[in-house]
Structure 1
Amino acid sequence: MMYKITNTCGCFLLMMTLIYNYQCSDIFVNESARPEETVHKWGRTENFIPTREKQLNVQGRTRPNPKEASLNTVELINGRGYPFEIHSVTSSDGYILELHRIPYGRHKKMAPKVSGQPVFLQHGLMNSDNVWLLLPDALAFTLADAGYDVWLGNARGNTYSRRHVSLDPSQEDYWNFSFDEMGNYDIPAVINFVLTKTGSQKMSYVGHSMGCTMFFICMSLHPELNDKIDVMIALAPAVSMAKSTAPLMVNQAPFAPQIKFVFDLIGVRAYQPVDSFWNNLRKRYCEPNLFLRYSLCQNTLFSSSGDDYHSLDLNLLPIIDGHNPAGTSVNTAVHYAQNYMAGQTFQRFDFGVEENQLRYGQTTPPTYDLSKVTSDVFIFWGQSDKVSAPTDIAWLETKLGNLRNSIMIEDPLWNHFSFLFSADAKRVVYDKLIPFLPQPIL
């Protein structure tokens, strides 16, 4: 009887996942594709936003501007009164990544040359770089105003990084990647690009969730790059997933091979792009009220992580919907599922016995050697995080080659996306991580 029940649940989850994701199969073009290298001049560009409204201050806090739901990243930056640049970086395997730069703060005069300490911010699974910008006192703006030269990364396959030197995103081969390739190819390309552009010897790195996954893979496979990082700040790092209680892991990971098989069969390539049918429906008809947001209108980010809206201004939810989820490959989600099913470990993508032998020289996927991560690492983690569970964080602490400190957020309800969307994020996290960064050159 238990066997039948389990399989019934599995079939139900499989069908719900297919219905939820089928619309993603034909979403493959980045309509804002830009040339190989596009750099906007220093200063602010006024022609992006027709009417720049001041954000309202309510009960001592700034109310989110609902118009930001329809703005892209550079429009968000410009709308807050900050300068920006757009850059394209090509990885060694041909993926073209879009970076956005905030070279200095809102109140600093324009300068022909930026002298601030470069800090690179890398988002997590199904996100784009806008997650560092949505709060009124978001981390990217906080760092820029503190004197840092802020660079925002976009992982391959998301809204802004959906180009390749030879492959078209409508082709199946384009989507044959997971976070392994992001760490192995994308992060080395970005590090070298930022240091070349700024003329700096080192840069700081701040990652959230998969942004930490990518960094640890990069330093494990390319340990020479540790010397180019002065500090790495890991917010809710997603490495070992063994103790995760997130719905995405618990409910879908056991059926990941079957889900991937059917996705391959029907041609689903992208996983959760922002402009899918369901996401467009939610953006159009859902309002920021608790009943809808916990039922029909829950964003994939929250339904996948199991997060509630602790300390979150509900007016921010439609703006989050406007940008997230931002899409990735099916293989990226599968790779996390594999790590969850493998227990307390951190391993490369499992292609099956025969292809593992060809790729790795062994029948099972090798593990990443985290002892090779020798740059200074500071971890911030939440007690109520269902994705990056405290037990998995404790495991990670024992594996890193140079962990400087592990900081538990004092708020007992702090969860996975609180780091990005909580109204208390600046006070609880951002103001505490800045002292760990090298002082900017002012």
Structure 2
Amino acid sequence: MTYKITNTCGCFLLMLTLICNYQCSDVFVTQPNGTAVTAHTWERTGNFRSAREKRLYVQGRTRPNPKEASLNTVQIINGRGYPFETHSVISYDGYVLELHRIPYGKGKKMAPKFSRRPVFLQHGLMGSDNVWILLPDALAFTLADAGYDVWLGNARGNTYSRRHVSLDPSQEEYWNFSFDEMGNYDIPAIINFVLSKTGGRQMSYIGHSMGCTMFFICMSLHPELNEKIDVMIALAPAVSMAKSTAPLMVKQAPFAPQIKFVFDLIGVRAYQPVDSFWNNLRKQYCGPHLFLRYSLCQNTLFSSSGDDYHSIDLNLLPIIDGHNPAGTSVNTAVHYAQNYIAGQTFQRFDFGRQENLLRYGQTTPPTYDLSKVTSNVFIFWGQNDKVSAPQDIAWLETKLGNLRNSIMIEDPLWNHFSFLFATDAKRLVYDKLIPFLP
């Protein structure tokens, strides 16, 4: 089958996307495979060199530490003075997912096993769990200091979860997944693992963007798991994309079939990994200069969402670059494009008429039944969010089986990544969501 691209802008975007996303297969490193679940535990010791230096306060807030751009998640947690654990969870289709745990707050002692309140945090598209720990008063640390047992998830295919029990990331088959598999296979495995480790019957779930997508898919396809979630906090949930004005949707979604065809043709398997040529170039030569950040050096997260840097400390941008984008599969981005093109709906991956018939028993992809999401759901959304548009949030509110509240952030300029990186995030979001948790 051949594809024709007649739109000049589309051709340019396709070329730009290929340049920015191309990733040679020899970059992937084969790691030992195994089916055993592993766990490594460290207290606040000298296992890693501390990332902390003299704390500098600028206009009443702590200045980000630039050295954290080159540290991994556990090194950042350790450097901030918190205990941590690393766990590996195997999904039902063999993907090895890395979880990071902060069992208690700084300077506190481990609570008795059955008295802890586990809270699981799931990042969004092209991210990793570091998005919850980069701010000086980041959500993961805020929750740990408030007495919660914090678990940080990593979606399959990102920097920390690029393993499988039998497949290698250099194989095309490894990347044959979208957020459908993440919600259908990964989240159930993680919920059962966390509850098994903590000894509780319920846990809380906080998701941002695709982290909410995964949760709603899980509860739609496995409604029996609703009883294991006491509260779900949805930050900028990405479900219906019909009213999205984000560049990733408006400029690239109409060309998703052509882009995927070319990617398949030249062997591109990962979408926006952190170690791609373009991302390495940007990390090396781009500083926090505002002009560069809005042009050549803009991080894919911000350029894809159409976010500006409202309420973000520019000193944090090089640190964000050091970790993001963390990569995903091409199919994951295509799945969002399909939902955008399909209109105000929330549907499974479209494989084409014949493959859909084999997989779903119908020629079109079925929709997820959001009425089966009966957990207590609280939505936080921004008025200036171009990805999770207010109109799509309003549509989602009418579909959920047990929406408890929908909270609009009072800042009218609040956008998609403000939830993770804005200096006002603790005051406007984190301090307001904690009372909803058990």
TM-score range normalised by the length of the shorter chain: over 0.9
Residue 40 of structure 1 aligns to a residue whose secondary structure is strand
Cα pair distance change 1:337/1:24, threshold 3 Å: farther
Q: Counterparts in 2 of 1:414-425, with a 5 A limit?
A: 414-425=414-425
Residue number in structure 1 paired with 2:218: 218
> C-alpha displacement at 1:42, in angstroms?
5.1
Distance 1:236 1:6, change over 3 A: farther
Q: Please report the TM-score for the alignment, with normalisation by the length of structure 2.
A: 0.96
Displacement of 1:27 in angstroms is 3.8
Amino acid at match of 1:400: L
Letter in 1 for 2:423: A
Whichever residue aligns with residue 65 of structure 1, its letter is: N
Distance change >3 Å, CA 405–CA 248, structure 1 → 2: same
CA 1:313/1:30 → structure 2, altered by over 3 Å: closer, same or farther? Answer: farther
How many angstroms apart in 2 are the aligned matches of 1:98 and 1:420?
A: 20
| Alpha-carbon shift at residue 13 of structure 1 (Å) | 1.1
Residues 183, 215 of structure 2: 8 Å contact kept: yes
Deviations 1:218-248 (A, max 9, x none): 0000000000000000000000000000000
Q: Is 1:322 aligned with 2:322?
A: yes
Letter in 2 for 1:116: R
Give the whole-Å Cα distance in 2 for the aligned partners of 1:157 and 1:126: 9
SS state at 1:136 partner: coil
Give deviations 1:18-72, integer Å, cap 9, x for gaps.
1111135544337799994443345213131266313311221000000000000
- What is the match of residue 312 of structure 1? 312
Matches within 5 A, 1:178-257: 178-257=178-257
Q: How does 1:1-400 map to 2 (within 5 A)?
A: 7-23=7-23, 25-29=25-29, 36-41=36-41, 43-49=43-49, 52-110=52-110, 113=113, 115-400=115-400
2:39 aligned counterpart, secondary structure: coil
Aligned residue type for 2:99: L
Is the contact made by 2:41 and 2:86 (CA closer than 8 Å) also made in structure 1? Answer: no
Partner SS, residue 115 of structure 2:
coil
CA–CA distance in 2 between the matches of 1:17 and 1:384? 25
Q: Residue 141 of structure 1 aligns to which amino acid in structure 2?
A: F
Q: CA deviation at 1:112?
A: 7.2
Deviations 1:280-306 (A, max 9, x none): 111111110111100110000000000
CA contact (8 A) 2:50 2:75 kept: no
What is the CA–CA distance in structure 2 between the aligned matches of 1:377 and 1:53, rounded to whole Å?
39
Q: Which SS does the other structure have where 1:127 is aligned?
A: coil
- Which letter maps to 1:232? M
Q: Which runs of 5+ in 2 are unaligned?
A: none
Quote the residue 1:430 is aligned against. Answer: 430
Query: Whole-Å Cα distance in 2 between the matches of residues 47 and 257 of structure 1?
Result: 47
Cα shift readout 1:249-296 (whole Å, capped 9, x = no counterpart): 000000000000000000000000001111111111111011110011
Contact 1:132 1:139 in 2 (8 A): yes
RMSD: 1.7
* Matched-pair contact (CA < 8 Å) for 2:208–2:235: yes
Q: Residue 217 of structure 2 aligns to which amino acid in structure 1? A: I
Deviations 1:125-168 (A, max 9, x none): 00000000000000000000000000000000000001101000
Q: Secondary structure at the match of 1:96?
A: strand
**The residue matched to 1:399 in structure 2 has which SS?**
coil
CA pair 41-331 structure 1, distance change in 2 beyond 3 A = closer
Paired AA for residue 133 in structure 1:
I
CA distance in 2, matches of 1:270, 1:112: 42
CA distance in 1, matches of 2:112, 2:46: 19
Cα distance in 1 for partners of 2:36, 2:29 equals 16
Contact 1:30 1:160 in 2 (8 A): no
Amino acid across the alignment from 2:153: G
Distance 1:82 1:114 in 2: 21
Q: For the Cα contact (< 8 Å) 1:42–1:112, is it kept in 2?
A: no
Give % identity: 87
**Aligned mates of 1:306, 1:24 — CA distance in 2:** 28
Shift of the 35–140 alpha-carbon distance from structure 1 to 2, 3 Å rule, reads farther
CA offset digits 1:165-192 (Å, max 9, x no partner): 1000100000000000000000000000
Distance 2:114 2:46 in 1: 21
| Letter of the structure 2 residue corresponding to residue 250 of structure 1 | V
Query: Contact 2:43–2:84 at 8 Å: present in 1 too?
Result: yes
Say which SS state the counterpart of residue 301 (structure 1) adopts. helix
Q: 1:257 to 1:39 in 2, by over 3 A?
A: same
Distance 2:305 2:11 in 1: 21
Give me the whole-angstrom Cα distance separating, in 2, the residues matched to 1:407 and 1:33. 43
- 1:131 aligned partner, one-letter code: V
Per the alignment, in what secondary structure is the counterpart of residue 303 of structure 2? helix
Q: Which amino acid aligns with 2:71?
A: L
State the alpha-carbon separation in 1 of the partners of residues 5 and 162 from structure 2: 40
**Distance in 1 (alpha carbons) for counterparts of 2:140 and 2:33:** 23
Please say if residues 27 and 270 of structure 1, whose CA atoms lie closer than 8 Å, have aligned partners that are also in contact: no
Are residues 255 and 407 of structure 1, via their aligned partners in 2, closer, same or farther at CA, if it must alter by over 3 Å? Answer: same
